[in-house]
Structure 1
């Protein structure tokens, strides 16, 4: 484990430090890939100073597969490193049939976390997130359930993902009153998906909540993957959280336009995009997926150049506006 490979950042106003680049197990830790290839990625992550591994009950496919795979590798290789790593998971989405198989009720959340712990082979996770808002369950019940998870030792910290600024403010206040601070929010954020800047990031700053962003490469759009068409084995071709209709001429034109800026910085477009997301001190960490150890190593190299000049930032903003790709 190489803690010197990348910087660590404080998560909000907590005592927890996270690596600038963390490993998300959303796409590449389900069935269809060998255990050894996934094991290689996890070991490479540790070599690159990644101590933070982000999962959810639904990650796979099938549901639960990513946690099961991580658990198998943890039992084999990582058990002695438990105090050196941060493991997170989430619950909210449908996991089994019937009225208790989804949502943010106390009934579902406690059951799905216990199932996650069993798959992971852990006594507790470091962070448990509410994966989605649930308008049918009172926020008071959701907050009380998170508080209960901490007090019963199932998780050390709690967070939310994909919550609105208003709901984030409300649940943070409820948790603060219970003595269990809201540690972190996990929203989508990238150079072409900037919706959190206007309202959510100011809330997180005011409340002292960390920010771990997902899809900083916009599901692979902010790479050179689609510059010459849509490869048959690509995420867009397979329709996995990205469709052919997402690979628009405007997006491709934007990536081509910013390629020269990245080259002048000595980076790939992907590396520059990760560095761009980390330019804001309110962002604690960015989550990256990896289909290979080499890809992960390339992404982590983004931390070698995190600074931007005002001219570079202005040029990136101008390119995004001219290409009309902002959302």
Structure 2
């Protein structure tokens, strides 16, 4: 991985591309490109192929189509390639990609994981399916997945914690505040336990940031913006420590703007709006740009919003970073 990073940096420099220019040309998130070029993240096969095409020569040989292997080993290889492709597409496009195709890919990966007996990968794919179901408004599906996971015997603690968070978000969407907060309370209690040896490696990111953010989002969904604000402030603070790529900071800045607007805190709205030009320059994310546009429209349409704030909101909406996404 370090050899690739060094060769890739040299190839881009020789071709006259800065990191941000390369990210734009490749249609990848600059934070993802930065992690690859610094050797902190292994490049996907799709990224290697795209980079080779951009610089006009192979940085390292691209992936070759391997013949399908029969049996469980072949299923595992196909499943992991399927999941890697979907997640790589999300790195490029966020939620701009084809949602139905992503869901179909995860369903196929789930079937193959079950067939191969790969429990950690099965849990991961189920978590991704629950997340996509919530984003697409399929609340019932998210509840079924979360309950199915929680019914498993000896489910690793961090996997169970995340299933409770997904269930809480689904319950918030149904308006069931009591059960939603009970699930989040159970998740907070489980977080105090140390990571267990049975927790799969993909659960490394499940921490206080994750629960605080989801709790704030759940309260927003339940219509309690004032209660959501302190949770989202905490998530915003933690995102700066735990998410060096800036995506978390952008995500929770959008969430805070939404909470301030719905709570009628116009002074905080103004201060938050002023942060977006710099954030949008630093972080590429189609999903967050769409969320921001939705909140900007809410503010402009709010009859209680001060005239000056409405003007600033329109100025932010006209930023080229938003117009281009």
Q: Same fold (TM over 0.5)?
A: no
TM-score normalised by L of structure 1: 0.29
- Which structure has the larger Rg? 2
What TM-score, normalized to structure 2? 0.29
More strand by share: 1
Q: Which has the higher contact order (CA 8 A, sep 6+)?
A: 1
